[in-house]
Structure 1
Amino acid sequence: MHGTGTIYKRCGCRDPLTGRQRGSACPGLKRRGHGSWYLALPQPATAAHRATRLRRGGYPTRAVAAHALARLRDPELVSSGALMSCAQWLGHWYATVEPHLRASTARGYRKHLQQYLVPLLGRELLCELTHDRVQQAFDMIVRQHRDSGRPISGNTLRRIQATLRAALNAAIRRGMLTANPARYLDLPRTPRPHPVVWTDARVAEWLRTGQRPAVAVWTPVQTATFLARISDHRLYALYHLYALRGLRRGEGAGLRWYDIDFTARTLTITRQLQQRERGRLEVCPPKTAAGERTIALDSGTIHILVIHRNQQRLEKIAAGELWNESEYVFTDRYGRPLRPDHIGHTFQTLVRASGLPPVRLHDLRHGAASLALTGGCDLKVIQAQLGHSTIVTTADTYTSVLPQTAHAGAEDTARVIIDAARRISRSIRQQPKRRHRRTKPRSAAHAVTRTPVAA
C-alpha cells in the first residue's frame, strides 16, 4: 500500500469450490467491462481515531478512480477533516454538544443517530455526502416503516432531518462542508394530530377494531372514574395534578414542597426533572420561558396534597436511616426523586387496570385544557396555566371541545335564533291593524270594451 494511495480492479465473482469472492484474483478481470475499479487511501491515526484505510469502489474506469483518488488527496480536504466518515463525524458532533443539551433533546438526537442516520449514512464520506444521497436515506426510512406496518409520521421525519442538519451545520462552521445537503428534502407532510374525545361511539370502535386516535382525551366522567379508581395509590396526588392542572411530566417530577403555597393555594413551576442515559436525573429549566409560572389550586387539590404530605412523613419514619432528604413532593419510598419514565410506565399500568380507553400521560395535559375550557375559563387563563408561549398553541393543539360543551353551544346558538324570532313575532302582534275599504265591483254596463285596432 503506497502512502499516497493505490488503484486496483476487482469483482464479486466467487470461487465455485470455496465460495469465497475472487476479488482481484479473478481471471475475468482482463476482459473489458468485467469488475469495477477501486481505490485505497491510508488514513493516519488521530487523537480520536486509529490509523485506517479509506476504501472506495464501484468506479467504471481507471481514469474515474484516479480522479477520485486525486480529489481525496487534496491537502485542503485532508486538513479540514472532510475525509472523516459520516459515522465518525456524527459521533464526534454528538459528544461535543451532548453536555449542553436538555435531557429530552439529547435522548432524541441519540435515537436518531443510532436508529437511522448512522446505519444509512455512516459509511459515506463527509466530503462526498450529497443531497440525493441524503434524500435516498430518508426515502429508505419511509419504506422500512411502511413495510413493517408502522408508518412514520412527517413530524418524526422532520425531527430526524433537524438532527442531521444541526450536525452538518457544525461541519460547515468548521470548514468541512460548503453547503448542507440535508436542506430542502422532499418529505411527506402529515397534519398535526388534534386531540379527539373518547365518546361512546369511539370507545365502541376501539373495542371492536383495537384502533385508537393518535391523541385522545377522556371525558370528565372518564377522568373522574380514573381518579376514583386510583385514589388509594401512593402517587394519586401526582396524577391528580396532571389531570386537573396540566403539568408536563418533568414539571410534576421536579416539584419541591416549597414550590407549593398552601395558604395562597398556588403552585410555582421553576424547573423540571429530566432523565438522561442510564437513568441519570438532571434538573433543567422549564421547556420555554413561559413555562415558569404560578398555577392556582382549588381547595380540593390542596386537601389532596396535604394528605400526600402526611403519607410521605409516614414513609420517612418507616424508611428510617435509608430516607433521602430531597425536598421533592413526589418520591419513591426512600425519598429519592422519581424518574420521569417510571411515572409514565406507572400511569400506563394504572390505565390498563382501570378498563378505560387508552390515553398517554401527556394526553392528560390536553384533557386539562379541555376541562378548563368546559369550566368556562378564558383561553388566556388556560395559556398561562399550561405555560404556552402563544395562545395559538393553546387554541389549536391543546383544547378539545367536549360533547357537553358542544351541546351547550348548539343550544345557545339555537336560543339566539329562537329569541330573535320571538321578538319579531311580538312586534308584529303589537302593530296596529290597518282597516281596508272594500271597493264595489263595477257593473257590466260600466265596463269599458276595448275595440281591436285593425292592422
Structure 2
Amino acid sequence: MKKQRGIKRAFGDGGIDQRGENVYRLRYRIGGKRFTKTIHGTLGEARKELRALIRAGDTGDHVDPNKLTVSQWIDRWIEAGAPGRKKKKVGQRTLERYEQLLNTHVKPAIGDQALQQLRAAAIDELYASLEGKIAPRTAHHVHVVLGAALGTAHRTRLIAVNPMAHVQQVPNPDAVQPADDEADDLGEGLEETELAALIAGFKASSSLFCIVALAAASGARRNELLALRWTDLDIEKKKLRIERALEQTKKFGIRIKPPKTKRGFRTIDLDDATLAILLVERAKHQRLLSGVPDGTDVDLTLVRLPPKAFLFPAVPERGEDINLTAPRNPRNFSKEFARRASVLGFGSTRFHDLRGIHATALLDAGIPVHRVAERIGDDPAVLLRNYAKRKRAKRADESMSTTLAMIASGFLGS
C-alpha cells in the first residue's frame, strides 16, 4: 500500500493529501469552518479544484460538497446551461424542457437526497413511480436528462461513482426519441391521396396553405419554415436556402437562431408547382406593401420587399396592418394547423408529420438515404432509424428532380 503523503501549499490555500493513485483529499477552510473533499484525477486537477472551492467561498457560492443535494446540483447544472460530455451548453428551448422534466418528476422524488449518497435503487424507485403516470417516451426523456446531469457531476468529480451505471429499470419507450430539439420521431403516415386531401383542405386558409404546401414539398422543420425570408429564395435557380430557425422560449420569447447543427445549413431544390405557390404569396406581400389592390394589373417587380421580410410573417391583430418583418408565433401556428386538420378529418396528423411524409416519399422512390438526409437536414442514421419502417417500394431509376415534381403534382394538382 502506498504511503500517504501531504502536498504542501501556501498558507491559507488549504491542503492536498494523496490517498492513492490519482486519488486526492482536499482540505480547506471557509469562514473558519473545515471542509474536505475527495476527488479522482491528476494532481493538477486537484489543485485546480481546490482553487475553485476556495474561490467559491470568497464569492459566497460555496456549498459543502458532502451536503449538496440532488436538487441543488440540478439547479447548478441548469444554470450552467446543462453542459454535456463536450462541455457545450444546450439551446434555451431545450434547457427549459430539461428544467421542466427535472423539476416536475425528479426533484419531488429524490431532490432532498444528498448528491454523494444517491444510489441506483432510489433512481429505480423513481422510475417505478412514473409508470402509468406519464407516457413511456416522457419517462425515457427523464432518464436521459437525469443521466446527463449526473454524468456532469461525475465528470466534475462531485461524485466518485455515477449511480446511473447501476440502474436496473431504465424506462423503455416504444420508439426512443432523443431529449433534444433535434428530435424527429416516426410520426403519422399518409398516403398520396390523403396528403392531397389534407393540403387541398388548407386552400381556404390563405395564412396556412402556403406553409403547409411548402412543408410537404421540402421536408423542412416548422421553425425553419417560419424563419425563411424572401432573400433566401433564388427564383432563377429554383432553390431555397435554410440558414436560420425560430426559437420560442419563456426567457427570450420568439427569436432567430442558427440551425442547431451544420446539417441544418442547406440549400434545397424546389419543383415548379411549389415555386409558383411561393411567387403568388410574394405577390400578395408586394401588393400589401405598395397598397395595390388585388386584380389591378401592375408590374410588381418594381416593389421591393424589406430585406428581412419573412415568407410567413406574424398574423396581424384585428385592425392592425401586417408587419412583414415580424416573426410568426410557432406555437400558435401549430394550434391553428391542429384545429384545421381536425376539421378536415386528420386530427391525429401533426404538422411535423409532413416532414416524415416527405422523407418517406423520397426513400420509397429510391433516392439514396444520404441525399434525403442532406435535403431535410438530418443525420442519415437518425433518418434510417425513424423512417425505415415506413418504406414501401423503391424506384431507384428516378432522379431527385423528377421525384420531387411527381410528389408536388400529386398534392398540388398541377
Instruction: Return the TM-score normalized by structure 1.
Output: 0.60
Unmatched 5+ residue regions in structure 1? 1-72, 146-151, 195-212, 410-455
- Residues 103 and 282 in structure 1, CA contact (< 8 A), matched pair in contact too: no
Matched, 1:274 2:263: no
For residues 137 and 367 of structure 1, the distance between their equivalents in structure 2, rounded to whole angstroms, comes to 37
2:332 aligned to which of 318, 324, 342? 342
> Which residue of the other structure, out of 144, 149, 165, is the alignment partner of 1:167?
149
2:152, 2:390 → 1: CA distance? 44
| The structure with more radius of gyration | 1
Show the 5 A alignment for 1:15-414.
Answer: 75-76=35-36, 80-97=64-81, 100-145=89-134, 152-153=135-136, 155-185=137-167, 186-192=169-175, 215-233=187-205, 234-277=207-250, 280-316=253-289, 326-332=308-314, 333-335=322-324, 336-356=326-346, 358-390=348-380, 392-398=381-387, 401=390, 405=393
Displacement of 1:79? 6.2
Distance 1:394 1:177, change over 3 A: closer
Contact 1:254–1:271 (8 Å) recurs in 2: yes
Structure 2 unaligned runs (5+)?
1-32, 38-61, 84-88, 178-184, 292-304, 315-321, 397-414
* CA displacement 1:175-197 (0-9 Å, x = unmatched): 43212223342214344379xxx
Q: Residue 267 of structure 2 aligns to a residue in which SS? A: strand
Report deviation, 1:275: 1.1
Partner secondary structure for residue 373 of structure 1: helix
Check conservation: 1:246, 1:386, Cα contact below 8 A.
Answer: yes
Root-mean-square deviation (CA, aligned residues, Å) is: 3.1
Amino acid aligned to 2:202? I
- The structure showing larger relative contact order (alpha-carbon pairs under 8 Å, at least 6 residues apart) is 2
Q: Which structure is higher in helix share?
A: 1
Equivalent position amino acid for 2:172 in 1 = R
Q: Note if contact 2:208-2:337 (Cα within 8 Å) is conserved in structure 1.
A: no
Amino acid at match of 2:387: Y
The 1:214–1:175 alpha-carbon spacing in structure 2 relative to 1, beyond 3 Å, is closer
Q: Compared with structure 1, are the counterparts of its residues 376 and 84 closer, same or farther at alpha carbon in structure 2 (3 Å cutoff)?
A: closer
For the residues of structure 2 that align with 1:108 and 1:156, how far apart are their CA atoms? 11
Shift of 1:104: 3.3
Distance 2:252 2:343 in 1: 26
Change (3 A) 1:289 1:159: same
**Aligned equivalents of 1:257 and 1:98: distance in 2?**
35
Instruction: Give the whole-Å Cα distance in 2 for the aligned partners of 1:396 and 1:168.
Output: 27
Q: Tell me the SS of whatever aligns to 2:144.
A: helix
Deviations 1:3-49 (A, max 9, x none): xxxxxxxxxxxxxxxxxxxxxxxxxxxxxxxxxxxxxxxxxxxxxxx
Taking the aligned partners of 2:114 and 2:390, their CA distance within structure 1 comes to 52
Q: Label 1:164 to 1:193 Cα distance change in 2 as closer, same or farther (>3 A).
A: closer
Q: Quick one: distance in 2 between partners of 1:352 and 1:269?
A: 29
Alignment length (residue pairs): 305
Secondary structure of the 2:378 match is: coil
Secondary structure in structure 2 of the residue aligned to 1:331? coil
Change (3 A) 1:125 1:74: farther
Query: For residues 119-162 of structure 1, what are the alpha-carbon distances to aligned partners after superposition, in whole Å with 9 as ceiling and x for unaligned?
Result: 112221223222211221121112534xxxxxx22x43332222
Is the 2:119–2:163 contact (alpha carbons within 8 Å) kept by the matching residues of 1? yes
User: Which runs of structure 1 show a deviation greater than 6 angstroms over 4 or more consecutive aligned residues?
Assistant: none
Question: Per-residue displacement from partner, 1:238-281 (whole Å, max 9, x unpaired)?
Answer: 11111121111221122121111111001111121111115612
